[in-house]
Amino acid sequence: MDSISTAPRDQLLTELHRCASLGETAHVSRMVQGMRKLGLDSRNEQGWTALMLAARNGHVDVAKILLQNGCDPFLPNKSGQNSLDIAEFWDHTEVINLLRSDPQIKEVANKDLVNFFGLNPLDRQSHQRTNKQWIRDAMQAPTTTYILYRYLNPYIIPSEDSNGMFQYNLAAYSYKEISFALKEEASIIFLGVGPLHLPMNKDGDMQEKSSEGAWFAVDVTDIPSEDLQKIKPEAEMLPKRNRMALMLLSPADAGIIGQGRSMLAWHDRYKFCPTCGASTTTAEAGYKRVCTKEGCRSLNGVHNTCYPRLDPVVIMLVVSEDGKSILLGRKKGFPGKMYSCLAGFMEPGETIEDAVRRETKEESGIIVGKVQYHSSQPWPMPSQLMIGCIAKATTSKITVDEDELVDARWFTRHEVIEMLGSSGDLGSTRGGMFIPPGSAIAHQLIKHWAKMSPNL
């Protein structure tokens, strides 16, 4: 035990992962007693924990020891798989039953899947948007959190989590810190009310004895960056033109930042009345734009032209007639050899099901019959709602629309599982091909099918 406790941390973790992979139960049992302070959930370079490795290789006794000592079954690897996902991929029945019986997993087993950008902890309190006095008071409250954007890029703070994994945290500002930037003409969006994100004041007193506060998004594009840097030197803008950087945010932070980004993008693009072309002003705490021209038709009755834009997009996993393969395609702008689900914008007067069938036929020539809803994902680039579906093909011959796709092909279950991640080596993919990361709804659709019985 002494030798275990005095060995270098990295060496201990490597040994724990090796023993978990090989099923060396007695050794794992001895190691966990001296490693709790080091973090049993520490991950290797591929993002795999000891529990994941035990699940991958079907070592139920090792998995039981790790769970009893507090290992987290929800942690994902870089492919977005948690321990239960991995056990199900490789059909290790005993480990599957063990994990499913864990109280943490049973608690959420019946909840709907929430995709990345969809986990927003804020209560939007839309009824307060027309209450101008409440909004003014909320803006100045010491419990209020402001998040800032420059050219739609949010300010964040780089850091590492307890396992040494790089991540971003949103940069939270108080009214006192940012009041100079809250100009009358600035875009200020009320996001909702939620958990406090601000630290204790330097004087040691909390802003108020409250567990909640209002949240606002502010466009500070016109404010000199030097002025903001003086307030919070550790804050920086999220890397430009790098959508993947958003995926390094926590799911809750990403949901809040996505809401603010979509709203500010709408204000940036729709400054004039779409009915008459006159300039507009903001209303309802940023959730409406009002035409300034007297007599404009948009001022009479209900007109959706003045409210935030949301673009519905269908994204579908097309399953072959026999259920043994799925259709994936490559667009021109995709990186490397990435393949993903087909997708396309819905059109007016079209159902979700018909949009799936039309887009699939247009892009690949495949005819689709039955369509089932899976889950959805807000996508703030700038304001799409991805509607995920599983579609059953009735034909198999692919005819690629070269204006839409570079390639499209059928992938077997074995090929898909290899692309999702094999034996803890996430670089081991079929011919260098890969699919989008776990933060993309396409990944969740593909993983859902990979976990299904081939007979379904």
**What CATH number is attached to the domain comprising 319?**
3.90.79.10
Task: Break the chain down into helix, strand, coil percent, rounded to 5.
Answer: 35, 20, 40
Last residue of a domain, one of 238, 269, 300: 269
3-class DSSP assignment, residue 225? helix
Q: How many domains does the chain have?
A: 3
pLDDT tens string, the chain, 456 residues long: the values are 344 444 577 888 899 999 999 999 999 998 887 675 567 888 887 788 999 999 999 999 999 999 988 888 877 776 667 898 889 888 899 999 999 887 766 655 556 678 999 989 999 999 999 999 999 999 999 999 999 999 999 999 998 765 566 788 999 999 999 999 897 666 899 999 998 886 544 443 444 455 899 999 999 999 999 999 999 999 999 887 666 788 888 888 999 999 999 999 999 998 999 899 999 999 999 999 999 999 998 888 776 678 898 999 999 999 999 999 999 999 988 888 899 999 999 999 999 999 999 999 999 999 999 999 999 999 998 999 999 999 999 999 999 999 999 999 999 988 887 787 633 333 335 567 889 888 899 999 998 898 775 433
Last residue of a domain, one of 269, 297, 326: 269
The string of DSSP codes covering 65-131 is: HHHHTT--TT---TTS--HHHHHHHTT-HHHHHHHHTSHHHHHHTTSPP--TT-----B--GGGTT-
* 103 and 136 share one domain: no
Angle between helical axes of 93-100 and 60-68 (0-180°, round to 10) = 20
- Is residue 36, in this structure, part of any structural domain at all? yes
Q: Are residues 100 and 155 in the same domain?
A: no
- DSSP classification of residue 21: H
CA 88, CA 83: separation in Å to the nearest integer?
Answer: 9
Distance, in Å, from the CA atom of 372 to the CA atom of 453, rounded to the nearest integer, reads 17
Whole-model pTM?
A: 0.77
Domain assignment of residue 346, given as a range: 311-451
The size of the chain, in residues, is 456
- 168 close to 157: Cβ distance less than 8 angstroms: yes
Residues 101 and 140 in one domain: no
Q: Is 44 exposed, middle or buried (0-12, 13-18, 19+ CB in 10 A)?
A: middle
